[in-house]
Amino acid sequence: MANVTMPQLGETVADGTVTKWFKKVGDTVAKGEPLFEVSTDKVDTEIPSPTNGVLSAILVEEGVTVDVGTVLAVIGDGSEEPTPAPAATPVAEPTKKTGTAPAAGHARQTSSPEEAQLSPVVRRLIEENGLDVATLTGSGPNGRITRQDVLAAVDALTTTNTEPGAAQSPIVRRLMSEHHIEAKDVVGTGPNGTITRHDVDALIESGPATPSASGARDEVVPFTKIRRLTAEHMVRSKATSAHTLMVKEVDYEHVELARERFGTSFKEREGFGLSYLPFNAVAAIEALREFPRLNASVGEDELIVHLDVNLGIAVDIDNEGLVVPVIRSAELLDLAQLARGVRDVAERARTKRLGPDELAGGTFTISNPGPFGTLLTGAVINQPQVAILSTDSVVRKPVVITADDGAESVGIHSVGMLALTFDHRAVDGAYAARFLRRMSEVLTTRDWGRDLG
């Protein structure tokens, strides 16, 4: 038999919530096949089965938060007596917060409701919704408060109160009163549109705004976790950095010729096509060597310049939100290695196979909306970085061609835009302009055959 344990999903992650089992007791599982999904405060990740066999026992049910190393399930050869997941403690029956933990180690002991050892996910939900821990009843092992308990409490506030603003927690109502904010002026991002503390704080920071009210022919779509996290990050970034957009048109004909010459052999060798993105990544890394203050973050009255280029790649997750996995020490990689790295992190991001550490530590980010035919995109800086590059579509268009003798002619070339959003606290416009000029020089003059031949 083999025990399935809660994996260490990152250096800073101490526990995780089992959000979904893909198999039930008695099912045959294959090594590497998705077995369950884990949620942390950083990422949702599908965890594969560590071995072949039959799922003979599930020891931790969906929605329960446990420590790293806790035994979640048992995989055997099929001869064992099946053991289903333990039933959850009913929410309506209060349970003591102290006692001996089960053998599986489902949860840490807690000394009192007010001092409960909450998981990061649960703690964040409680804080955002302005709830008091003492008012919550835990349905997890040993009375531990789970994510579902918090969401149920928020939902109860929403469904049991009909007066405008009555569904808000006391903390939220107090903040709204202190700042003379009416409920109709706030867009709630909590369950069922509940106004959370974060919603009020965001409105206070950005100034009052009046959202459109929903009508009979409108559909209210609650934010998913990743949509909410993306929204929070974007609002925080705009409130933090002095966003400035600078754009340069670039002639990609030199790159286009390289793609035409080496594209077929590259695809046969690598198994995927050669897009513009790795060329742009190489050019950005080369430019960052000369303009390193864009590979930096802002500290306390200081600029922290990073020697390693940990390249973030913005990845869309089924139109629900964005994640930015990181390719570490990208300055050490050649074009083909960068192409493989980009494809790898994008695929694993979309299939929920990224670990939290793979989303941390980025120093410069590239967003690539170009495949969708975009002309110009002013991306939002990925905090705490100071710059993000958007690579938009490359199209065929007439350009003026200047010969060595100065003679001019008109030809059809591949042309695209490089759009750099930078933090004006960190650098000025001239610095950013020189960075873009250097990128253009690399794209139009580099011997790409040396990289691909």
Q: Catalytic pick from 404, 428, 447, 451?
A: 428
* CB-count burial class (<10 Å; 0-12, 13-18, 19+) for 90: exposed
Q: Are 323 and 43 in contact (CB under 8 A)?
A: yes
Report residue 287: phi and psi, to 5°: -70, -35
Q: Are strands 326-327 and 322-323 parallel, antiparallel or unpaired?
A: unpaired
Q: Which stretches of 62-174 are assigned E, i.e. beta strand?
A: 65-67, 71-76
Task: Give the CB-side neighbour count of residue 81, counting CA atoms within 13 A.
Answer: 0
Where would I find the H helices in 139-244? 147-159, 170-178, 197-206, 225-240
How far apart CA 378 and CA 386 sit, in angstroms, is: 14
Where would I find the H helices in 243-389? 253-270, 277-290, 335-350
Q: Catalytic pick from 77, 334, 424, 447?
A: 424
Q: Are 388 and 380 in contact (CB under 8 A)?
A: yes
In sequence order, the 6+-apart residues with CB closer than 8 A to the CB of 169 are 129, 130, 131, 157, 197
- Residue 447 appears among annotated catalytic residues: no
How far apart CA 442 and CA 279 sit, in angstroms, is: 9
Q: Are 158 and 192 in contact (CB under 8 A)?
A: yes
- Residue 198 appears among annotated catalytic residues: no
Active-site positions?
A: 424, 428
